Amino acid sequence: MRNGTWSAVAVGIVAVGLTKTAELIAPKTSLMPCILDDDPGQLEMLTSLVASMGYEAIPTADPEQALKLIKRGRCRLALVDVHMPAMDGYEFLSQALQSDPGVHILLMTGDYTLDSALEAIRRGAADFLPKPIDRAHLKKTLDDAAKLYDQRRRVRVLEEQLLRDLEFHGIVGKSPAMLEVFDFARKVARHYTNVLLAGATGSGKELVARAIHQLSPVGQQKLAVCNCSALVDTLLESQLFGHMRGAFTGATDTRPGLFEYANGGTVFLDEVGEMSLAMQAKVLRVIQNREIQRVGSPEVRQVNVRLIAATNRDLRAEVLSGRFREDLFYRLSSIQIRIPSLAERLEDIPLLVQFLLHKYNAAYGKHIAGLTRRAQTVLLQHSWPGNVRELENVISSACITTAGDFVDLGDLPEHLQHRGPRGLNGDEWRPLSLEEVRKMHIQRVLEMCQGNRLRAAQILGIGRTSLYRYLKRDGYDTNKTKPGNVEA
């Protein structure tokens, strides 16, 4: 099962890595070989030989110029002499593959041996040709390369088309599990019912909530988003229900809450499982009686909002343990949609990578064409505990650090670079103490959350104060917070 999925994914992602090459291919004949040789006689002879095969070639004796042609995507194939004074063929091969891993480099040499041919191929050469060049062999190699590039161009066009077709309100996915989510969301959106979105952190719950709102009959009305875990009870109550001036210290003016703001539209209650029982009772009243009261006001106001709630907890288990009201659970979950984790839909990774590269190329003014094959492999072997958010962070920071046209292994975060293939039991087992395991686990979760301690505490299922206590014990400076932390 995994193997089947795996090969399908592997085939898909190769096309992502070929973005640049494929994009720049116009008609089939635009293979445009570059011929690199320091001997002017050879250069002239090879250029006319290649021309007689139907391919217009660019001859040069300068390796730097040839590298530029490859980097700019003008030449997708190069015929390169091994022995050159300025740069030998192997060095050229390595630099050329660095700027375009999809380029075909054919090395030519006067002293051919089987060993040197195998070495060249091991280093990524498309072929190793003995001089004098065998005409038929070269023609076949050029024709095969032209065919392959044409194929890749068509795959690329189809992938672009697929991305357009498979984007559902900014949500990308082609796995059966995600297509089912889109289909279900489309169906339930039309009906004015509450929806509960369940899924791991970063799996796309908020995106789905926004899509449901947009597709609903109240899509033109307001959508208010409230993160129930980010605020203490009193602030959460005031945010949802509003408050009167002087209702509590700091309430310097009278303000409507999100229910009033989004009246006639939708309120999205994110992390609803983190709400206290007292707040749950107040939300239940909104659903049952469509009534709210601003904090500090006796006046009862009518509101009519659709509720979409999201949780990364097992709410049914929370009900059983008494932490979540059963009546509210049933009211919220008349329709429940489970968003699958990224590990359950690895086949979405190529499309997501393509989508995210578009997004961050545009944001950072870059032209990154894709990922090298080894970087693709690493992404496909990771377990993605932080789901699409984690993938998005990886791609966005890679877009910043990548200097070339392709994201390579070194542009990925350290912990991805040094990981072996995903084993059944995760990392290699070592007999650690519980204390050490706890420390390591906290570190990893923090890393995954990019240092956001509030989110880390939620995932760890502990309070923020407990997390701080542990961090202090482990020698962290708890006064320092990483940029971007939202800690209410």
Ligand X SMILES: Nc1ncnc2c1ncn2[C@@H]1O[C@H](COP(=O)(O)OP(=O)(O)OP(=O)(O)O)[C@@H](O)[C@H]1O
Summarize as ranges the residues that interact with ligand X (CB under 6 A).
171-173, 199, 201-207, 270, 310, 312, 352, 355, 388-389, 392
Pick 180 or 206: Cβ nearer Mg ion: 206
H or E element: which one contains 309? strand 306-311
Strand stretches in 377-430, DSSP E = 406-407
DSSP strand pairing (223-227 vs 266-270): parallel
Pick 133 or 460: Cβ nearer ligand X: 460
CB of 225 to Mg ion, least distance (A): 9
- The binder of 12, among ligand X, Mg ion, none, by C-beta within 5 to 8 A per type, is none
Pick 261 or 268: Cβ nearer ligand X: 268
Number of shown-chain residues binding Mg ion (CB under 5 A): 2
- The binder of 160, among ligand X, Mg ion, none, by C-beta within 5 to 8 A per type, is none
CB of 41 to ligand X, least distance (A): 56
Cα 103 to chain centroid, rounded: 26
Token couple for 59: 């001859």
Rounded to 10°, the helix 373-381/2-17 angle is 140
Q: Which residue is nearest to ligand X (CB)?
A: 204
CB of 352 to ligand X, least distance (A): 6
CB of 461 to Mg ion, least distance (A): 17
Build a one-symbol-per-residue string for 213-252: x at contacts with Mg ion by CB under 5 A, - elsewhere. ----------------------------------------
CB of 205 to Mg ion, least distance (A): 5
Q: What ranges in 167-309 are assigned the alpha helix state H? A: 176-189, 205-215, 233-241, 258-261, 277-289
CA separation, residue 122 to residues 90, 339, 390 (Å): 11, 42, 33
**Residue in the structure block whose two tokens are 């910043």:** 400
Beta bridge partners of 104: 77
CB of 344 to ligand X, least distance (A): 13
- The binder of 203, among Mg ion, ligand X, none, by C-beta within 5 to 8 A per type, is ligand X
Pick 269 or 471: Cβ nearer Mg ion: 269
Beta bridge partners of 58: 34
Got the DSSP string for 198-235? EE-TTSSHHHHHHHHHHHSTTTTS-EEEEETTSS-HHH
Other CB atoms within a 10 A radius of the CB of residue 283 amount to 26
- Are 25 and 365 in contact by the 8 Å Cβ rule? The answer is no
- The binder of 89, among ligand X, Mg ion, none, by C-beta within 5 to 8 A per type, is none
Pick 97 or 211: Cβ nearer ligand X: 211
Pick 297 or 361: Cβ nearer ligand X: 361
- The binder of 63, among Mg ion, ligand X, none, by C-beta within 5 to 8 A per type, is none
**CA atoms within a 13 Å half-sphere pointing along the CA-CB vector of 68:** 7
- The binder of 173, among Mg ion, ligand X, none, by C-beta within 5 to 8 A per type, is ligand X
Give the integer Cα–Cα distance in Å for 481 and 203.
25
Give the integer Cα–Cα distance in Å for 487 and 7.
42
User: Is 176 buried (19+), middle (13-18) or exposed (0-12) by CB count in 10 A?
Assistant: exposed
CB of 260 to ligand X, least distance (A): 24
CB of 311 to Mg ion, least distance (A): 10
CB of 247 to ligand X, least distance (A): 29
Rounded to 10°, the helix 63-71/89-99 angle is 20
Pick 209 or 460: Cβ nearer Mg ion: 209
328 φ/ψ angles, rounded to the nearest 5 degrees:
-70, -40
CB of 280 to ligand X, least distance (A): 19
Give the integer Cα–Cα distance in Å for 305 and 223.
9
- The binder of 312, among ligand X, Mg ion, none, by C-beta within 5 to 8 A per type, is ligand X
Pick 42 or 201: Cβ nearer Mg ion: 201
Give the integer Cα–Cα distance in Å for 62 and 154.
33
- The binder of 19, among Mg ion, ligand X, none, by C-beta within 5 to 8 A per type, is none
- The binder of 242, among ligand X, Mg ion, none, by C-beta within 5 to 8 A per type, is none
b/e map of 445-473 (b: 16 or more CB within 10 Å)? Answer: bbbbbbebbbbbbbbbeeeeeebeebbee
b/e map of 67-80 (b: 16 or more CB within 10 Å)? Answer: bebbbebebbbbbb
Pick 155 or 224: Cβ nearer Mg ion: 224
- The binder of 37, among ligand X, Mg ion, none, by C-beta within 5 to 8 A per type, is none
Pick 204 or 242: Cβ nearer ligand X: 204
Pick 162 or 172: Cβ nearer ligand X: 172
In a 3-state reduction of DSSP, which class is residue 58? strand
- The binder of 199, among ligand X, Mg ion, none, by C-beta within 5 to 8 A per type, is ligand X
Residue range at the interface with Mg ion (CB under 5 A); choices 205-213, 274-282, 293-301, 464-472? 205-213
Q: Does 270 bind Mg ion (CB under 5 A)?
A: yes
Q: Which of 88, 119, 143, 206 binds Mg ion (CB under 5 A)?
A: 206
CB of 450 to Mg ion, least distance (A): 15
The binding site for Mg ion (CB under 5 A) comprises 206, 270
